[in-house]
Amino acid sequence: MKGVLGWIKSHLLIVISTIVILASLPTGWIMSSGWNEDIRDGQEKRANDAYNKIKGARVTYVIPSLLPGEDSVTDSRPPNRYVTEFVAAQRAERTSQASGIVSEVEGFNRRDHQLLEPRLLPEPENPQQATSLKYSMLAQVAGDEQLGTESIYLGLFSAIGAGGPPDAIKLATSIQDLRDREAERMLAESGTGSLTEEQQEELNTLLSDRRIAETQRRAKEISVYAGLESFDTQAFGENTTAVIPPMSRNDRGSSVAPSLSEAFAWNFDYWVVSDVLAAIDAANTDEGGTRANVEHAAVKKIERLAVQALPVEIVYDSGSGSDDGFGDEEEAGGATDPSVSVTGRVSNDAFDVVLVKLRLVVDAQALPRLFEAFAETNLMTVLDLDLTEVDVWNDLRQGYYYGDGAVMRADLLIETIWLREWTTPMMPDAVKEALGIVMDDEFAGDDG
């Protein structure tokens, strides 16, 4: 026993370590069992939570609509690879279709509209020639007797078969010649010094028939009564564009070169008027491409054509070298405003809205065809229509013959839309600034 105690004393560190090891084995087993249980419970909880999330997961698949009034396709379901691939393909196809539609609408809106003087707009190719090009464009739009040029608007009216009634002076001269000849013949036949009541009545009937025959002949030669006199520069008050501009003059009475802003406004007016006249011509043309004469036309007379100016104020070049431009843009308030019109469309970042007022003498039964013609020609909508009676006999005395059908006087308000996607690149910087179109500083310049 003493030997054992002596060995223990001499090897005390080994004995203590052995006791500690032996004591820690059951303690470690007990503690590790508790840890394992905690870890297991934690892992099971996390696994169950993840499983429940996956089990309850739902994805909302959406295939967007393209057209107004068309419902989008929406479906909420658990994730599915095949459904995901199908919806992705459908969305890609729709995106492609939308891009195609935008391109088609832009081409439809632009039609064949070009700049009247591409060397001048949107910026002069040669600044030294800018002034002469401005005068050249003014002569092109308004006409210049000294240069022997006519207004381009005369070409627009001619292109739709428009014209005026018989020349009043020539018609009066013709009627007077006929009256003199017939009165002389009647007097010679009767052998008296004056016409009897019967002869006077016969002569009056003959002259009336001749007047009607002349107006009918003229009505067969043209498609619609219209000309430069149809333009109304007061219908929208101060916001009415002149369409055909006068020569601007400074305080000294000298002619003033138009600004780039002014030149663009003339060009824009030309686009608007050309579309309106093209729509009227379309209404007067049958499916076979034959243009009707006045007697059978849908639109027989254009009494008034007024164009609303872009929502900007032109500042004319005073000749002092100052910058030209437009005034502040009118408050648009978004793309639509129900208080404005039945469509609610107002000018915004995507397009400009320009109104047109028309007063027409129309075949009452052809109004639906006229409305269709506006929509088929460009982005134009009839916002308002007022109909009144026409005094056909009074108009006939002035040389206007409308045929035997029922006619009405129609006052129309037309909304025209102009997409900025194609108009903006043609605008001088001052016009862009006035319309609130953001420009890069490096491209901004003076409107000379």
What is the DSSP secondary-structure string of 65-124? Answer: --STTPPPEEEEES--HHHHHHHHHHHHHHHHHHHHHHHHHHHHHHTT---S-TTTSSS-
Neighbouring-strand partners of residue 388: 409
Which of 97-101, 138-142, 144-148, 387-391: highest mean pLDDT? 387-391
Structure tokens at 43: 């892992």
Confidence of residue 407 (pLDDT cuts 50, 70, 90): very high
Q: What is the Cα 145 distance to its own chain's centre?
A: 34
* Amino acid letter, residue 249: R
User: pLDDT digit string (tens) for 164-220?
Assistant: 999 878 777 877 877 778 777 877 777 777 887 787 787 778 778 788 888 999 999
Peptide linkage before 122 cis (omega within 30 of 0) = yes
**Distance (Å, whole) CA 302 – CA 164:** 10
| Residue 377, Cβ density class (10 Å: 0-12 exposed, 13-18 middle, ≥19 buried) | buried
Tell me, what's the pLDDT at 64? 74
Helix (H) or strand (E) holding 295: none
User: Residue 437 has which token pair?
Assistant: 């179109």
Arithmetic mean of pLDDT, 130-150: 87
Q: Is 316 a residue whose pLDDT tops 70?
A: no
pLDDT exceeds cutoff 60 at 300: yes
Q: In this predicted structure, what is the pLDDT of residue 20?
A: 56
Burial of 403 (0-12, 13-18, 19+ CB in 10 A): middle
Continuous segment of H or E residues that includes residue 276: helix 260-283
Confidence check: pLDDT of 327 > 50: no
CB atoms inside a 10 Å sphere around CB 320:
6
Residue 416: predicted pLDDT: 97
Output the pLDDT for position 329: 38
Q: Which residue from 411, 234, 230 is spatially nearest to 308, judged by alpha carbons?
A: 234
Other Cβ atoms closer than 10 A to 226: 25
* Cα angle 131, 137, 142; round to 5: 125
Q: For residue 231, which of 322, 306, 343 has the smallest C-alpha distance?
A: 306
Binned at pLDDT 50, 70 and 90, residue 133 comes out as: very high
Global pTM reads 0.72
